[in-house]
Structure 1
Amino acid sequence: MNNEQIITYINQFHFLRPLMLWFFVPLVIFLVQYIYNKRKTESWKGLIRKELRKIVILNQKNRKANLPAILMFFLLFLMIIGVAGPTFKQKKLPSILNKSVVWIALDLSQSMLTKDISPNRLERAKLKVRDLFAEKLNTKVGLLVFAGTPHVIFPPSLDKKVMVPYMTTVKPRIMPVKGTNYELMLNYIDTLTQKEVAPATLIIITDEVTEAQAQLIEKYRNTSKGFVQVWVASSFNGGFVPSPYNSRRELKYEGKSILSKADRSLLKRLDQQERIKVIPLTLDNSDVDALADHIKKHMVIKTDADKKEDDWRDDGIYFIYPIIIFGLFWFRKGWMVNWGLVLLIFLSSCGVESKHPDWWYTKDYQAQQKIDNGNYAEAAQLYTSYANKAYAFYKSGDIEAAAAVYEMDSTATSQYNLGLMFVELGNYEMAQSAFRVALKRDPSLTQAKESLVKVKIELEKKNGKTEASQDNDKDTSQAVKALTEKERKLSDNDYNKKKAKQADAEKQKLVDPKKRKYKEQDWPEENKKKKDRMNQVSAASMVMEKTNADPSEFLRKKFILQRKKYYPQVKNPKKAW
């Protein structure tokens, strides 16, 4: 290491967390207090004549007695420096951070379903996009789809795996406006890339380009600083566009089938333009490799002005080694005894009665300590469980509060205790209801059975009845009538929900069969037994089973809302393919 490097390290030295250096203030105060106490405790030595001190005082030059204190202050000093994060130089980044952005614009017009290439143009394009995602491009990639209107599926991101589930399910039917509107798409891309530091690369995956669309691409190239690549997903001879209503039939316009075929001469002319590249989709990865080479040539790496504080190397970790080494001396004989008193003084403020008991104990532990001391009202405020909170209210004498808390707990034991609270309050009707609920929750709860019999006797005495037993049917009807108002409401809600689900099921039967693809697709003939089994499960399970997990449906609804908000004036064109 030469002098220039030393000077560079000195100039670059700083702390990543300088606020931690404020811990030196209490450390200095502690050191001054220690020195003051040390001198005060040794002040009696001045009363002895200097000639006699050597005889009276043994080992007066024993400096080892102060060694634990010196070592403790030194360790605290190292800990504060280490936590503050001293640094001398910046990190060596494992990879270059490329600021260039790649936008993929996937054409979702009807002509992309043409089967001149297997399985069709759109599926081949999706496979190529997946190959592109699998390539380590070291740049952010965004995904956009367009037809009559453009829509972003995912903004530029280094994590390309999250885009795959959405990208693989996109279809022309999710687009709110049909056709192929290059003007809106290119203007949208231009808006998205205006704030980018590096020139963006736009990859248009389509099947054909018209003269008007080629002119729009050239205009975008002239007005922006980015690059354009047109990936052509069609064969040389082209193919007939399938109908959106029946893929086995051809789409017709003015009585003629529509032939979708790329203009090779036009694409060749585009390929000769500066910053425009036309690449036909290939079976191998040559097109993806060409994109990777393009990104490497035009990448813009992170500049020095963009480096953040996190890019500096934290050298505070190296202070842990001397701390561990010197910390081992604390286990020498006598050191733990002498300086363990400091730890005891610190921990003496950790009791339940301290200013911050939550730092050391849970709420339930604090409440239990209050119970042991007889402070039931305070314990009730601290307990987190219903059963313990209600018990604390009961012990404090607040029976009504205890009953209210027990009522919030649906367990058999809490309902039994709720009945006891109602007995204390003299409300035998509510007590009878609570005991019945407890028995319903746990039929083996003998205490609830005995209490229910006693409550019945009290009610008979109160109402002037002499017969101690009643018919089973009558007993059952009384049990239902004796349910609390809360449980009756719950029962009514369950009944109303059941009726609402049945009404929804009847409405769904009247929905257009094209929108009810669930019953058409999810129950093939060989799975009739599975259908029969599913018909026997609960309504809640059926609702979960019928939930549409296809991301394309989510995207379709999202694009409809975006079209209404941003493109209300855009209509379906006559040539909607």
Structure 2
Amino acid sequence: MNLPEVHFLRPEWLWLLLPTAFFVALLWRQRSQRSAWSNIIAPHLLVHLHSGAHQQKTQHTAKLLGLAWLIAIVGAAGPSWEQTPVPVSQQKAAYVVVLDLSYSMYAEDTQPSRIVKAKQKIRDLLSLPQDTQVALVAYAGEAHVVTPLTDDLGTIENLIPALNPGMMPVPGSDPIDAFVRAKALLSSSGVPGGSILWLTDDIETHQVSELSDWLETAGIRLATMAIGTQAGAPIPLGNGGFLRDQNSEIVVPSVPITRLRDFTTRQGGLFTHLTLDDADVQAAVDFMGSVEDLNRTEIERQADTWADAGFWLVIPWLLVMLIQFLRNPSGRLAGLVLIASCATLSHPSQVQAQDWQSLWKTPNQRAAELLPKDPAAAAELFEDPRWAAIAAYQAEDHDQAKARFEALEANSATDWYNLGNARARAGELEAALEAYNQSIALQETEDAVFNRDLIQQLLDQEQQQQSQDMDQQGDGSQSQQDQNNSETEANSGGQEQNQEQNSESESGASDASEQASNPEQDKQQEEAQAQNQQQHGEAQDSQEQADQQAAAGQESIDEQQQAMAQQAIQEARENQEQQQAMEQWIRRIEDDPSGLLREKFRYESERRQTQDRPRNDKKIW
């Protein structure tokens, strides 16, 4: 140990020596003074009343307590006199993932599509164990930084689903701009050299020489992963068609695997083609890891820090306190409290308990750490009402999220947009539509317009379905009433016909009885009787016909009731299907971070336009 090198890592603790000296002096004075009898009894007589052992004991107590406090304060100040190497290289190895988001990445020659497979490979890359920092840059006609260098790989993984070629403000393919921004990220973080993992499906002939010259001067190592096949596939559009060029011919972008391989190997890099397993990802990580080992070695030679030796003072401090325990049993409780407090302060600075650190964090900070794991608990812990509402929404407690968003004083487009999402998830479509309109009135965004149109379409479908149900119910009741009226008229008509025939037969019979003495009348009577019998038979036939009509009417009523029951079952099934369809439509309401990234990219693109940056006027895919 060299005395000139002795210093304290936390010298602010030494200020406690001043109050410690004051209290020790005060204790010494109180212990040295005689009791209150000194004001009454003469000093030469008081000497014989005090025992020497008691006075000596009090003096030793003051000395021991003063020594204990001195050792504890010096230990807490962190004395140090030598340097030790610290493994800081894990924060100095870094690489940037450069993702191609040109329209050709929509091609489906690699199922389900090139962009889906590329994002899957990035997830596989982030899931591998690695001590490094990673950044993500996306490019089309322009390049944009998605995330800077970070060791929190979960942040990058959360943003991957939001990436798609449709969010890029400038179409095309400009990998040189992406490489320049990747180099800027590595340089700003103090990383010497660095690597780039390039996921792409194309490189133009004129870009080969430009990228080669740039890589030679930049000192960047390159690992290229080709996404797609040489056969290629058309680029699907949202309307069901395919992308066409200026000659109205369907564009079929193929992957120039040979050109990409030759370009990468000439730069001393690693070329891999898309595989079904993670062999391509593992090869890229191994390649970039071997390159970064050189950077780690150079940095570790200078990565020295002063070692905290304060914890060694715990041993003499415990010895002093043990002596005090043996000499003064009544002070053991105070000594235990002192041990617990000072032992915590004398620990090395590298070892700190998480519970102790959490005491110094605000509820909002603790809730923010809890949000990815337990959003429901985070919603109760947040003191910020806006973050509490967001946490409740992530916990899928949409009623509580709606209530919390409504309690806010919505003064921005984002607040109204979040309120609309919460209302839509809670099933309040009309209120959600109003919130989306408020958000669009303040700032028109694609996500708000999409959700507004989606909710409006749901409301129109619901209103149309209700109108159809009312029309069907009205037609069914009218047809039933018409059929009942027709059956009533048929029954009344049959009864009137029978009554007329019976009355005619009765009148004929009375006339025949009155004219029984006349032979001609007898003949007429026989003819009339035969006619009456014929009419009676016809009446019976008409009665049977009426009965048949009544039976047929009853059968038609039963059939109609059965049809109405089937119609009710069908309507219930349709309502259930409509409810399920509505839930599926509501699930389509976007609440992912793509809106924020899209706005970020658009803002950066507009700012670059004002700087007269040359635009990419070549192919758009």
**Which band: TM-score by shorter chain?**
0.5 to 0.7
Report the CA distance shift for 1:215/1:518 in structure 2 as closer, same or farther (over 3 A).
farther
Candidates 17, 20, 28, aligned match of 2:21: 28
Which residue of 2 is the match for residue 225 of structure 1?
A: 219
User: For residues 303-345 of structure 1, what are the alpha-carbon distances to aligned partners after superposition, in whole Å with 9 as ceiling and x for unaligned?
Assistant: 368648xx544343454565566557469767449999xx9xx
Q: Pick one of 185, 191, 208 that aligns with 1:197.
A: 191
Normalised by the size of structure 2, how large is the TM-score? Answer: 0.55
Percent identity of paired positions between Structure 1 and Structure 2: 22
Q: Which residue of 1 aligns with 2:59?
A: 66
Pairs within 5 Å for 1:536-551? 548-551=590-593
Q: CA separation in 1, counterparts of 2:431 and 2:449?
A: 24
User: Is 1:211 equivalent to 2:202 in the alignment?
Assistant: no
Q: Distance in 2 between matches of 1:506 and 1:549?
A: 14
Distance between the aligned counterparts of 1:39 and 1:47, measured in 2?
Answer: 14
Q: Which secondary structure does the structure 1 equivalent of 2:170 belong to?
A: coil
Task: Return the match for 2:599 from 550, 553, 557.
Answer: 557
Distance in 2 between residues matched to 1:305 and 1:81, nearest whole Å: 31
Aligned residue among 556, 560, 573 for 2:617: 573
The size of the alignment, in residue pairs, is 399
Which of 579, 582, 596 is residue 529 of structure 1 equivalent to? 579
1:317 and 1:39 map into 2 onto residues whose CA distance is 34
User: Which AA in structure 2 matches 1:224?
Assistant: A
Q: CA shift at 1:292, angstroms?
A: 2.6
- Paired AA for residue 223 in structure 2: Q
Sort the Cα spacing of 1:318 and 1:254 in 2 relative to 1 into closer, same or farther, 3 A: same
**Which of 137, 142, 150 is the equivalent residue of 1:157?**
150
CA contact (8 A) 2:97 2:196 kept: yes
Q: Is the 2:458–2:582 contact (alpha carbons within 8 Å) kept by the matching residues of 1? A: no
Offset from partner CA, 1:52-110 (integer Å, 9 cap, x none)? 97x77643686323232122112211221122122355566567425132111100001
Structure with more helix by fraction? 2
- Residue aligning to 1:18: 11
Q: Say what the alpha-carbon RMSD is for the aligned residues.
A: 4.5
> Counterpart in 2 of 1:109?
102
The question of 1:142 aligning with 2:135 is answered: yes
Report what 1:391 is aligned to. none
Q: CA contact under 8 A between 2:95 and 2:186: conserved in structure 1?
A: no
What is the CA distance between 1:172 and its match in structure 2? Answer: 0.7
The alpha carbon displacement at 1:123 in A equals 0.9
**Aligned amino acid, residue 557 of structure 1:** E
Superposition pairs of residues 81-480 of structure 1, within 5 angstroms? 81-89=74-82, 93=86, 96-195=89-188, 196-235=190-229, 237-246=230-239, 249-299=242-292, 300-301=295-296, 303=299, 307=303, 311-320=305-314, 323=317, 326-327=320-321, 329=324, 335-336=330-331
Deviations 1:366-394 (A, max 9, x none): xxxxxxxxxxxxxxxxxxxxxxxxxxxxx
CA distance in 1: counterparts of 2:332 and 2:125, whole angstroms = 67
Alpha-carbon deviation of 1:13?
4.1
- 2:434 maps to which residue? 501
CA offset at residue 297 of structure 1?
2.3
In the alignment, residue 225 of structure 2 is paired with which amino acid?
Answer: W
1:403 matched to which residue of 2? none
The structure with the larger Rg is 2
Please give the secondary structure, in 2, of the residue aligned with 1:124.
helix
Partner of 1:516: 453
Matched letter for residue 578 of structure 2 = K
2:412: which partner in 1?
A: none
1:298–1:46 Cα change, 3 Å: farther
**More displaced, 57-66 or 199-208?**
57-66
> Which of 57, 68, 72 is 1:79 aligned to?
72
Stretch deviating more after TM superposition (293-302 or 89-98): 89-98
Q: Matches of 1:48 and 1:264 in 2, distance apart?
A: 109
Aligned 8 A contact 1:109 1:147 in 2: yes
Secondary structure in 2 matching 1:258: coil
1:205 counterpart letter in structure 2: L
Q: Is the 8 A contact 2:98 2:136 kept in 1?
A: yes
Q: Deviations over 1:541-577 (max 9, x none)?
A: x9xx997312222211221111101245555635211
- Give the Å deviation of 1:262: 2.5
Q: Deviations over 1:215-274 (max 9, x none)?
A: 221022122111122211111x33133143335535344122222123343223213323
Q: Structure 1's 327 and 271: CA in aligned 2 closer, same or farther, altered over 3 A? A: same
Change (3 A) 1:315 1:56: same
Structure 1 distance, partners of 2:219, 2:617, is 31
Contact (CA 8 Å) 2:13, 2:77: kept in 1 or not?
yes
Q: Identify if the C-alpha distance between structure 1 residues 500 and 172 changes in structure 2 by more than 3 Å, giving closer, same or farther.
A: closer
What secondary structure, in the 3-state scheme, does the structure 2 residue paired with 1:145 have? strand
Letter of the 1:560 partner, please give it: R
Structure 1 alignment gaps of length 5 or more: 1-6, 344-496, 536-541
Amino acid at match of 1:134: S
What 5-or-longer segments of structure 2 have no aligned partner? 339-429, 442-447, 463-573
Task: Note the C-alpha offset of 1:189.
Answer: 2.9
2 CA distance for matches of 1:514 and 1:18? 59
Query: What code does the residue aligned with 1:316 have?
Result: G
User: Does structure 1 conserve the Cα–Cα contact (< 8 Å) formed by 2:174 and 2:616?
Assistant: no
Q: Distance in 2 between matches of 1:212 and 1:223?
A: 18
- Contact 1:103–1:143 (CA<8 Å) still a contact in 2? yes
Contact 1:221 / 1:275 at 8 angstroms: preserved in 2? Answer: no
Letter in 1 for 2:453: R
Contact 1:100 1:199 in 2 (8 A): no
Q: Which amino acid aligns with 1:167?
A: I
User: How far apart are the structure 2 equivalents of 1:60 and 1:14?
Assistant: 41
Q: CA deviation at 1:38?
A: 5.6
Distance verdict in 2 for CA 1:518–1:562, change over 3 Å: farther
- Tell me, in whole angstroms, the C-alpha distance in 2 between the residues paired with 1:38 and 1:166: 69
